[in-house]
């Protein structure tokens, strides 16, 4: 009598696979029928799935989250070592879309905002702060703070006696300048790194190099912007106070 095949702890039925990946059984079967998911190992008329199926389904989910439709995903997975290429693309997307600086977000309520900023301008000021992206409404008078550092800087400016409308004017002008600078660096990446790669047909072997060059560019952007800003700020202060000293000397 043949020995009974042992079922390892990693073997899952399709229902267990669905729970593990957060997908429906129907969607898993649909991926199988489209050739997106390898067939399970069948034992005693039951299909069993392993870690490779979990990894493939999560890869598909992430590719869909990055805008790929199922036809494009299938084409990608069928090219040579498709899973490896798909992982390269996802690695690039993660690098491209990752925030330049990670900062834990905060959630505050309307009463706390009022206490921290001591404004009696109410909803008009709050609406402007929302437009500038300083606060994001979550409903029920609760707000997410994307950058607590910026908000703390705003509090410090107000503590110096600067009116809140004037502080928001400054944020708006800085944001516009930052937008212009950001577009400059994005244009540099697109023209010097992405376009040559794209025009070459996006060779599979070059994905890691493109991702590496993007990763190298990211800190250079921050360092360059900060260095130039510090230099220009020094010059602006020297120019402004130089004129004030001249006025005093003449007076």
pLDDT (tens digit per residue) in 34-87: 988 988 998 888 899 998 899 889 888 888 886 778 888 887 777 656 567 677
Give a yes or no: residue 38 inside a domain: yes
Residues 88, 116, single domain; the answer is no
The count of structural domains within the chain is 2
Nearest Cα to Cα of residue 60 among 88, 31, 40: 31
Give a yes or no: residue 227 inside a domain: no
Q: How far apart are CA 49 and CA 70, in angstroms?
A: 21
Are residues 167 and 154 in contact, defined by beta-carbon separation less than 8 angstroms? yes
Residue-number span of the structural domain to which 165 is assigned = 99-174
Q: What is the DSSP letter of 46?
A: E
Residues 88, 152, single domain; the answer is no
Residues 6+ apart with CB under 8 A from 156: none
Residues 157, 106, single domain; the answer is yes
Residues 90, 118, single domain; the answer is no
Residue 58 belongs to domain with CATH number = 1.10.1660.10
Higher-confidence residue of 18 and 250: namely 18
Reported confidence tier of residue 26, pLDDT bands at 50, 70, 90:
very high
Encoded tokens for 44:
């005693």
Give a yes or no: residue 32 inside a domain: yes
149-203 residue pLDDT tens: 988 898 899 889 998 889 999 999 998 988 888 889 888 888 998 889 888 988 8
Q: End of a domain among 129, 156, 174?
A: 174
């Amino acid at each position: 009598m043949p020995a009974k095949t042992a079922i390892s702890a990693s073997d899952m039925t399709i229902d267990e696979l669905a729970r593990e990946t957060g997908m429906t059984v129907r969607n898993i079967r649909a991926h199988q029928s489209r050739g997106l998911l390898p067939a399970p190992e069948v034992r005693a008329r039951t299909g069993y799935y392993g870690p490779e199926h979990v990894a493939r389904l999560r890869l598909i989910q992430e590719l869909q989250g990055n805008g790929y439709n199922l036809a494009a995903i299938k084409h990608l997975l069928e090219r040579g070592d498709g899973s490896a290429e798909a992982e390269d693309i996802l690695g690039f997307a993660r690098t491209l879309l990752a925030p330049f600086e990670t900062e834990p977000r905060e959630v505050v309520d309307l009463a706390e905002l009022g206490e921290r900023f001591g404004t009696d301008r109410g909803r008009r000021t709050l609406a402007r702060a929302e437009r500038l992206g300083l606060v994001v409404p979550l409903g029920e008078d609760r707000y997410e703070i994307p950058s607590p550092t910026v908000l703390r800087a705003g509090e410090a400016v107000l503590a110096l006696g600067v009116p809140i409308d004037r502080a928001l004017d400054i944020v708006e002008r800085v944001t516009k300048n930052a937008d212009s600078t950001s577009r400059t660096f994005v244009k540099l990446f697109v023209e010097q790194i992405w376009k040559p790669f794209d025009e070459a047909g996006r060779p599979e072997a070059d994905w890691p190099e493109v991702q590496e060059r993007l990763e190298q560019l990211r800190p250079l952007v921050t360092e360059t912007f900060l260095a130039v800003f510090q230099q220009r700020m020094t010059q602006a202060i020297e120019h402004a106070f130089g004129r004030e000293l001249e006025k005093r000397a003449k007076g």
